[in-house]
C-alpha cells in the first residue's frame, strides 16, 4: 500500500510540475506579447498629433499612473512631459493640466465645452447624475446651481447669518478648551468638522445640530464617518469607468451595490437631520416653522428646469448632501493644514499674531468687517490653499464636443484632470514652490482664488463648474483661522516636536492630513471675550 501511495504522489507531483511549466511558458509568452504590444501601441500613439505623455500599456493604458496618490504621481510625470500631458486611461483619451499657463488657455477658450462630467460607477449609483456635483452640463445642472448660488451663497444671505457664525465660533472655542482640559489632546480635524457642520446646519435648517452631549457627539462622528466614506469612494479607480467591457469585474467586486448602500445611508441621514418628511408636510399644507426661512424652505419651494415641477425628494436631499459634505470636510482640511504649517513655522505664527493684535488687541473680538485689513493672515490662508489644496485633482471633466488646446485637437469624450496640486507648484509661477512662504502673496499684484481671471491659484476649481460654495468657504475659513490664532495657544502632545509633524496627506478625492493633528488648546488673553 505504501509503495502504491508513493507512486501516486509521485505521478501527481509530476503532473503538477508539468502543468505549471506549461502555464509558466504561456504566462511568459503573454508578458513578452504585452511588452511588444506596449512598444507598438506607444509608437502608434506617438505617431498621432497628441501631447507628450507616457506610453500606454495594452488594455489598461496609463491607469497605473493613478496609483498611490494620483495628484503626486501625475505631478511627477508632468515634470517630464510638461503642463499638458496625454494619458490613455483604458480606452478613454485623457489630458492632464499641470501648469497655470495651460489652465489659463483651457478655461479662456473652452470653458463651456469642458463643463461636462464623465459618467462613472460611483456617481451613477450614489446620485444617478441628479445632483450638482455629478449632473451633466445642461438645463438641469444650471437650475440646481442657480438655486444654490442665488439662495444660499449670496452676500445678503451670508450677511444674515453673521451673528450665528460668531456665536458658533465662540461656542465651539469654549468646547475646544473644555475638551482639551478634560480629555487631553484634541483631534483638530474632528473639532473643525463639527464647528463647520454646525455653521452650515444653522443656515440650512436654523439649528445647531451637532452638540457636545452624547447624542450630538455620536451624530457628529457618524456624519464625519459618512463624509470620509464618500470622499474615499469618490476617489476609487473603477476599472469599468475606463474599460467599459470589464463591467463584470466591477460587479464581481460589488462596487455598484456598495455605492447604492452609501446612497441609502446618505439620503436617510439627510432626511433625519432636517426632519424632511415633517418639513415637507408642513410646506404642502401652507404652514410655517415660525423661524426665518432656511435652505430647506428654499428647496421645498424650488422647481426643476421646466419651472413647474417641484424638486423631487431625492434631489432635495442630494442637494443638502452637496452643501453639507462639500462645505465641511474641505474647509476643515484647509484650516488643519494652515495650523500645522504655522506650528512648524513659529516666525510666521508670531508675525500673524502681531498683525491680529495690532487690529483687534486683546480686548476686541475678531470681526468679519476687518478681515480684508489683515494682509498677512490672508496670505497665510492663500498659502495653505496653494500648498495643500483640499481636493488636489478636483473632479474630472469631459468634453461634450471636439476642442483645441495648445495646437492639439481633442475629440468629444476626452476626459480632463486639472491637477491643482501641480498647478500650485508650477515653478514658472512660484519661487521655491515646495516651501511654506506666505510672504509670496504680499509681493507683486494681488492673486485671487476665484479662478475667473487668474489661474495660478485655483483651490475651488475654475469656470462654470467651480465650487458653488466659494463665497462662504472663503469667508468662513479666514474667519475661523483668525479667531483661532487670536484666542488659542496650541501645543503638541508631549514628546512631539513641530518639526517632526508628518505632513503627508491621505488618499481620496479630498486630501486631509494622513495623521490628524492632535493638539492641546489653552486660552490666550483674548479668549476671555468668549
Task: Give the C-alpha distances (Å, rounded to integers) separating 398 from 56, 96, 265.
Answer: 20, 12, 29
Long-range contacts at 135-140 (CB < 8 A, ≥ 24 apart) = 136/400, 137/112, 137/400, 137/464, 137/465, 139/305, 140/304, 140/305
Task: List the beta bridge partners of residue 298.
Answer: none
Q: How does DSSP classify residue 493?
A: P
- Rounded to whole angstroms, the maximal C-alpha distance in the chain is 97
User: Pairing state of beta strands 415-418 and 92-97?
Assistant: parallel
User: Pairing state of beta strands 403-405 and 397-398?
Assistant: unpaired
CA 10 from chain center: how many Å? 59
Report the distance separating Cα 320 and Cα 297, nearest Å: 12
Task: List the beta bridge partners of residue 398.
Answer: 116, 415
Task: Give the C-alpha distances (Å, rounded to integers) separating 367 from 260, 358, 373, 447, 489.
Answer: 44, 14, 11, 23, 19
Per-residue buried b or exposed e for 280-307, using 16+ beta carbons within 10 Å of the residue's own CB: beebeeeeebeeeebbbbbbbebeeeee
| Nearest alpha-carbon partner for 249 in 241, 239, 258 | 239
CA 251 from chain center: how many Å? 26
CA 153 from chain center: how many Å? 19
Residue by residue, DSSP assigns 395-452 as: --EE-SS-EEETTEEE-TT-EEEE-HHHHTT-TTT-SSTTS--GGGGGSSS---SSSS
User: Containing H/E element for 490?
Assistant: strand 488-491
Residue 480 contacts residue 192 (beta carbons within 8 Å)? yes
Residue 98 contacts residue 85 (beta carbons within 8 Å)? yes
Give the residue ranges of DSSP H helices in 98-234: 100-110, 121-126, 139-151, 155-160, 162-183, 188-205, 214-234
Residue 44 CB burial class (10 angstroms; 0-12, 13-18, ≥19): exposed
Residue 310 CB burial class (10 angstroms; 0-12, 13-18, ≥19): middle
Q: What strands lie across the sheet with 92-97, from one edge to the other?
A: 84-89, 92-97, 415-418, 397-398
Report the distance separating Cα 193 and Cα 209, nearest Å: 12
Residue by residue, DSSP assigns 222-243 as: HHHHHHHHHHHHHT---HHHHS
Report the distance separating Cα 185 and Cα 175, nearest Å: 13
Tell me if 467 is assigned to a ligand binding site.
Answer: yes
Binding-site entries for heme: 467
**Which residues fall in the annotated binding site?**
467
Amino acid at each position: 500500500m505504501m509503495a502504491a501511495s508513493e507512486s501516486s504522489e509521485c505521478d501527481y507531483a509530476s503532473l503538477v510540475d508539468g502543468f505549471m511549466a506549461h502555464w509558466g511558458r504561456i504566462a511568459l509568452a503573454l508578458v513578452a506579447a504585452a511588452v511588444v504590444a506596449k512598444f507598438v501601441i506607444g509608437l502608434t500613439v506617438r505617431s498621432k498629433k497628441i501631447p507628450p505623455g507616457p506610453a500606454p500599456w495594452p488594455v489598461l493604458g496609463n491607469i497605473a499612473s493613478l496609483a498611490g496618490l494620483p495628484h503626486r504621481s501625475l505631478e511627477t510625470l508632468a515634470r517630464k512631459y510638461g503642463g499638458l500631458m496625454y494619458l490613455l486611461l483604458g480606452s478613454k483619451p485623457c489630458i492632464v493640466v499641470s501648469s497655470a499657463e495651460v489652465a489659463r488657455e483651457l478655461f479662456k477658450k473652452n470653458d463651456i465645452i469642458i463643463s461636462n462630467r464623465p459618467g462613472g460607477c460611483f456617481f451613477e449609483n450614489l446620485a444617478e447624475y441628479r445632483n450638482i456635483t455629478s449632473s451633466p452640463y445642461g438645463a438641469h445642472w444650471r437650475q440646481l446651481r442657480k438655486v444654490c448660488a442665488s439662495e444660499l451663497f449670496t452676500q445678503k444671505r451670508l450677511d444674515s447669518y453673521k451673528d450665528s457664525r460668531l456665536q458658533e465660533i465662540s461656542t465651539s472655542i469654549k468646547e475646544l478648551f473644555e475638551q482639551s482640559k478634560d480629555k487631553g489632546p484634541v483631534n483638530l480635524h474632528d473639532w473643525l468638522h463639527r464647528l463647520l457642520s454646525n455653521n452650515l446646519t444653522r443656515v440650512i435648517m436654523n439649528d445647531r445640530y451637532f452638540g457636545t452631549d452624547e447624542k450630538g457627539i455620536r451624530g457628529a462622528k457618524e456624519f464625519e464617518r459618512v463624509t470620509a466614506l464618500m470622499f474615499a469612494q469618490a476617489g476609487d479607480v473603477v476599472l469599468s469607468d475606463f474599460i467599459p467591457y470589464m463591467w463584470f469585474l466591477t460587479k464581481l467586486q460589488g462596487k455598484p451595490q456598495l455605492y447604492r448602500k452609501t446612497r441609502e445611508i446618505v439620503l436617510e441621514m439627510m432626511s433625519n437631520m432636517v426632519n424632511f418628511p415633517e418639513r415637507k408636510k408642513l410646506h404642502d399644507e401652507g404652514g410655517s416653522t415660525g423661524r426665518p426661512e432656511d435652505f430647506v424652505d428654499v428647496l421645498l419651494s424650488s422647481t426643476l428646469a421646466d419651472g413647474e415641477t417641484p424638486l423631487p425628494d431625492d434631489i432635495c436631499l442630494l442637494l443638502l448632501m452637496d452643501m453639507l459634505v462639500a462645505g465641511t470636510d474641505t474647509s476643515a482640511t484647509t484650516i488643519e493644514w494652515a495650523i500645522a504649517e504655522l506650528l512648524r513655522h513659529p516666525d510666521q505664527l508670531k508675525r500673524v499674531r502681531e498683525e491680529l493684535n495690532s487690529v483687534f488687541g486683546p480686548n476686541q473680538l475678531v470681526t468679519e468687517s476687518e478681515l480684508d485689513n489683515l494682509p498677512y493672515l490672508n496670505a497665510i490662508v492663500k498659502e495653505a490653499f496653494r500648498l495643500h489644496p483640499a481636493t488636489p485633482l478636483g473632479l474630472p471633466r469631459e468634453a461634450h464636443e471636439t476642442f483645441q488646446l495648445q495646437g492639439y485637437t481633442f475629440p468629444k469624450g476626452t476626459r480632463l484632470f486639472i491637477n491643482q496640486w501641480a498647478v500650485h507648484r508650477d515653478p514658472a509661477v512660484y519661487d521655491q514652490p515646495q516651501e511654506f512662504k506666505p510672504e509670496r502673496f504680499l509681493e507683486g499684484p494681488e492673486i485671487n482664488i476665484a479662478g475667473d481671471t487668474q489661474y495660478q491659484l485655483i483651490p475651488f476649481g475654475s469656470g462654470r463648474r467651480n465650487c458653488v460654495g466659494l463665497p462662504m468657504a472663503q469667508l468662513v475659513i479666514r474667519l475661523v483661522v483668525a479667531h483661532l490664532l487670536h484666542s488659542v495657544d496650541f501645543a503638541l502632545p508631549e514628546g512631539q516636536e513641530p518639526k517632526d509633524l508628518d505632513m503627508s496627506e491621505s488618499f481620496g478625492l479630498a486630501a486631509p492630513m494622513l495623521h490628524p493633528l492632535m493638539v492641546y488648546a489653552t486660552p490666550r488673553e483674548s479668549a476671555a471675550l468668549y
